[in-house]
Amino acid sequence: MMTGFLKMHGLGNDFVVVDERIHRHDLTPARIAALSDRHTGIGCDQFVTLRPACAQGADVFVRFFNADGTESGACGNASRCIADLVAHETGQDRVGLQTRAGVLHATIIRPGLVTVDMGTPAQDWADVPLAKAMDTLHLPIAGDPAAVSMGNPHATFFMPAADAVDPCVAGPELEHHPLFPERANIGFAHVTGRDAMRLRVWERGSGLTRACGSGACAAVVNAVRRGLVERTCTVMMDGGELTITWRENDGHVLMTGPAKTSFTGTFNPEDYPR
């Protein structure tokens, strides 16, 4: 009855990883939420499962779940962690990750340091998605955020100072704003130079995290669209730095940062509500 797991993190954005490539486990949304609880479960920002890949060019099918048990299309920090894990298993320095948002290709710079090609950002209102047609570069919300999808919806607010807003106060209401039919990840960015910014992200279904990979990608894309930064930018978050490049030639966003394994363990699914 015992199920094995890995605890991994990218810049303190932490994940419980369960391998289902051989045996499926009864991981319902309620059970995932219970396991994600930091007081009565294992505790994590996101819960990740691995299954056999069925897409061309992919080594593993990865599913991402928020701490409340809802599914997310992408998670940048978790993608680096899983790429590092699969590379260790196979000896490859390139890994394909099949996700709900498509196949993401990762390159191992060295063990524990990974670049993931997060694909092209979706900038049209219907693809974010938003509730109605509008300019995604300037949403009609106080604070004038910009919106983009990196496999999941993001809204970025550009702040005059890093501490201008408390994400734990503003984030919950903005996550559920009527313009976001699937809710949204809310980023608060302070641009500190043409190649640097400070970022904090309130993640839908998980709350404030120490880092958000897809949020960093979205913040850089939105900042480039507004002419605030160059196409390669260092993003400083509470847990550390990511380097984000939005390539001009093909529009792909590359994210480079660390991936770490914290510990391994087991749990009995029957100890958690179904």
Q: How many residues would you count in the chain?
A: 274
CA torsion through residues 166, 169, 170, 172, sign: positive
DSSP state of 120: P
- Considering 44, 81, 212, 217, which one is annotated as catalytic? 212
Helix then strand count (H, E) for the chain reads 4, 17
Q: Which of 43, 74, 6 is nearest to 216 (CA)?
A: 74
Query: Do residues 217 and 245 lie in contact, with contact meaning Cβ atoms separated by under 8 Å?
Result: no
- Considering 75, 81, 217, 233, which one is annotated as catalytic? 75
Cα of 61 vs its chain's centroid, Å: 16
* Structure tokens given for 49: 């499962």
Asked about 75 being catalytic, the answer comes back as yes
d(CA 28, CA 136): 34
Greatest extent of the chain over all pairs of C-alpha atoms, in Å: 54
Asked about 81 being catalytic, the answer comes back as no
**Phi and psi torsions of 8, nearest 5°:** -130, 165
- Residues annotated as catalytic are 75, 212
